[in-house]
Amino acid sequence: MRSTTVIGFLGSTLDASKFGPSRWNKWRPTVGLCMQPDLRVDRFVLLHGEYHRRLAEFVMQDIRDVSPETEVVPHIINFDDAWDFEEVYTQLLDFAQGFDFEPENEDYLVHITTGTHVAQICLFLLTEARFIPGKLLQTQPERSKPDPAGTWNAIDLDLSRYDSIAQRFAASSRESTSFLKGGIETRNAAFNAMIDEIEQVATRSSAPLLLMGPTGAGKSLLARRIYELKADRHRLAGPFVEVNCATLKGDNAMSALFGHRKGAFTGAVADRAGLLRSADGGMLFLDEIGELGLDEQAMILRAIEEKRFLPMGADKEVASQFQLIAGTNLDLIDAVAKGTFRDDLFARLNLWTFHLPGLAERKEDIEPNVDYELERFAAAEDMRVTFNKEARDRYLAFAMGPEALWSGNFRDLSASITRMATLSADGRIDRATVELEISRLRRSWTTDRGGQSGDHLVSVLGTEQMTQLDPFDLAQLSEVVRICRRHTSLSAAGRELFAVSRQNRSTTNDADRLRKYLLKFGLSFDDLQAT
């Protein structure tokens, strides 16, 4: 059978009474606890100051009388000021750390009815933090009848044991992750798992975060939502400050980030606080941090670690407490290897690194994001727009298919939906509008991928095959296709394409040379004439 140990303060007021028989008509928390018919106290560790030694001895004797099986162990703790939180907590922590707990053999109850309010709070905190591996114990007098024993209740601070509380925590966590995703019911399992982890980090840590991913993947939007989530949890009180480091060069970078004093350089006609100072108490988002120079990186590192930095032209450091989120579309490991990014700064940022996938890697999330963009359009333009069924099916088939590159990621998708919504007749996006948008996207991505290749290659190769070719091959093939379409025969096209090299050959077979070149890409001259 497991034994039970109670730890509690002597109540200098509640446990005090006249020493005569009338004391048994009064509820005294410490004595009454040992009179409970449904609670066996094997050991009572009674905390008290030297000043209350006589009262302690009297109470200990009464405990022995009502509960002979209870071993009472006095423990003297003297406070200079029993209302000084730091002093009380420190001494109780020392007590807890020096106590020989055996939770595998004993149950521990921490009595918080007696003692000053500060002492009760400290015992609560020590129990919650598991410095004392037990439950809280609360006692009170019977309200309906005079009873020296009173009643008792134990409180287990392990919240996972309470189903309703656990459900509330789970619901709160789901709300937080949904908020980070903008309320979008994303379907990509890897992305959802990443957001779950970000939610935990955002609510529990103030360490820097590093968001990596291609342009348009949503780094800036996610950083702002992290800030709003932390602010809602009262973990941040200051502003959200965002800066694109790619726009900062030379003295302008130093001045913008760290501020300057009047006269620090030509053009510094007044003091400037700087972005780091402006973010005091809040969050600083340094997007494209990989674009910063090495000097700026060094100062950023010191500001992160020491929360202090020196403005340009100043002779005195300033302080700023901020949480940092850094964003980049560069491979910082490669940048460190090349010497363009400080390895010590990367090590500091790399504690919490999250890789945001591009839209092409999350095609199952395109449909819910389409609905999200339509809602954004409705809110911005005060006009609700929807797809008809045929148009929606056609657009989603294209958007989620192999042709769709989504090189601009969510910016491409947002722009695409905005264009179709704006051009829709009577608030309905039809098939014709979708086909026009698909053509526009194809042209855009072809130009991005192949330079001067033109959209004529799309009809010949298809977008998927084009993505597998080097820009060199695309540029060369584009010219070959253009010339082939000007001629009616393979030989004529070959003569133009090989006009110089054929002069150095004893025998020429321009048609065969061109046929073999086209065959490398799975094409024939007839294919080019038909498209």
Does residue 270 have a pLDDT over 90? no
- Is pTM beyond 0.85? Reply is no
| Phi, psi values for residue 260, rounded to 5° | -155, 165
Roughly what angle, to the nearest 10 degrees, separates helices 510-519 and 490-497? 90
Q: How much is the pLDDT for 180?
A: 80
| Phi, psi values for residue 9, rounded to 5° | -80, 145
Residue 361: strand, helix, or coil: helix
Where residue 130 falls among pLDDT bands split at 50, 70, 90? confident
pLDDT tens by residue, 365-413: 999 999 999 999 999 998 999 999 999 999 999 999 888 888 889 999 9
Element (DSSP H or E) covering residue 319: strand 318-319
Query: Which tops the pLDDT comparison, 457 or 99?
Result: 99
Q: How much is the pLDDT for 451?
A: 44
Where residue 453 falls among pLDDT bands split at 50, 70, 90? very low
Q: What is the DSSP string of 121-184?
A: HHHHHHHHTTSS-SEEEEEE--SSS--SS-EEEEE---GGG-HHHHHHHHHHHHHHHHHHTTT-
Query: Which tops the pLDDT comparison, 178 or 426?
Result: 426
Where residue 452 falls among pLDDT bands split at 50, 70, 90? very low
pLDDT tens by residue, 164-199: 655 665 566 667 677 787 777 888 888 889 988 998
| Phi, psi values for residue 48, rounded to 5° | -165, 165
Residue 206: strand, helix, or coil: coil
Q: How much is the pLDDT for 454?
A: 47
Where residue 17 falls among pLDDT bands split at 50, 70, 90? confident
Q: How much is the pLDDT for 433?
A: 94
CATH for 3-161, options being 3.30.300.30, 3.40.50.10770, 3.20.20.210, 3.40.50.300: 3.40.50.10770
Closest by CA to 344, choosing from 308, 307, 304, is: 304
Residue with tokens 């403005």: 311
For 316, the token pair is: 């005195």
Please enumerate in sequence order all residues whose Cβ is within 8 A of that of 53, keeping only pairs 6 or more positions apart, or say none: 76
pLDDT tens by residue, 437-446: 999 998 888 6
Does residue 229 have a pLDDT over 80? yes
| Averaged pLDDT, 288-303 | 90
Residues 63 and 47: their CA atoms lie apart, in Å, by: 15
Does residue 325 have a pLDDT over 80? yes
SS3 content of the chain, % helix, strand, coil (to 5): 50, 15, 35
pLDDT tens by residue, 33-89: 999 999 999 999 999 999 999 999 999 999 999 999 999 999 999 999 999 999 999
Walk across the sheet containing 3-9 and list its strands.
Answer: 71-76, 43-48, 3-9, 106-111, 135-140, 151-155
Q: How much is the pLDDT for 159?
A: 58
Choose the weakest-confidence range: 23-32, 173-182, 203-212.
Answer: 173-182
**R_g of the chain, CA atoms, integer Å:** 37
Residues 8 and 5: their CA atoms lie apart, in Å, by: 10
Q: How much is the pLDDT for 21?
A: 83
Choose the weakest-confidence range: 127-131, 155-159, 420-424.
Answer: 155-159
Element (DSSP H or E) covering residue 113: none
The DSSP symbol for 316 reads S
Query: Which tops the pLDDT comparison, 162 or 427?
Result: 427
| Averaged pLDDT, 265-270 | 70
The CA-based dihedral angle spanning residues 463, 464, 465, 466, taken in that order and rounded to the nearest 10 degrees: 40
| Averaged pLDDT, 216-235 | 88
Question: In Å, how far are 93, 320, 383 from 30, measured between CA atoms?
Answer: 22, 50, 70
Choose the weakest-confidence range: 23-27, 181-185, 237-241, 253-257.
Answer: 181-185
Q: Domain 171-355 carries which CATH code?
A: 3.40.50.300
CA 209-212-215 angle, to 5 degrees, is: 130
Q: How much is the pLDDT for 481?
A: 86
| Averaged pLDDT, 309-318 | 83
| Phi, psi values for residue 440, rounded to 5° | -65, -45
| Averaged pLDDT, 321-334 | 91
Q: How much is the pLDDT for 115?
A: 92
Residue 355: strand, helix, or coil: strand
Closest by CA to 348, choosing from 324, 367, 379, is: 324
Element (DSSP H or E) covering residue 310: none
- In the chain, the percentage of residues whose pLDDT exceeds 90 is 46
Asked if 356 and 197 touch (Cβ cutoff 8 Å), the reply is no
Q: What is the DSSP string of 438-504?
A: HHHHHHHHHHHHHGGG-THHHHHH-HHHHTTS-HHHHHHHHHHHHHHTT-SSHHHHHHHHTTTGGGG
Closest by CA to 259, choosing from 205, 313, 322, 301, is: 313
Asked if 236 and 230 touch (Cβ cutoff 8 Å), the reply is yes
Provide CATH 3.40.50.10770 ranges for the chain.
3-161
Q: How much is the pLDDT for 52?
A: 93
Average pLDDT, the chain: 86
pLDDT tens by residue, 463-511: 667 767 777 888 788 888 888 877 778 888 888 888 888 777 777 788 8
Provide CATH 1.10.8.60 ranges for the chain.
359-453
Does residue 245 have a pLDDT over 50? yes
Q: What letter represents residue 231's amino acid?
A: A
Three-state SS string across 237-295, please? CCCEEEEEHHHCCHHHHHHHHHCECCCCCCCCCCCECCHHHHCCCCEEEEECHHHCCHH
> What is 359-453's CATH topology?
Helicase, Ruva Protein; domain 3 (1.10.8)
Q: Look at the chain and count its residues.
A: 531
For 115, the token pair is: 């003692």
Provide CATH 3.40.50.300 ranges for the chain.
171-355
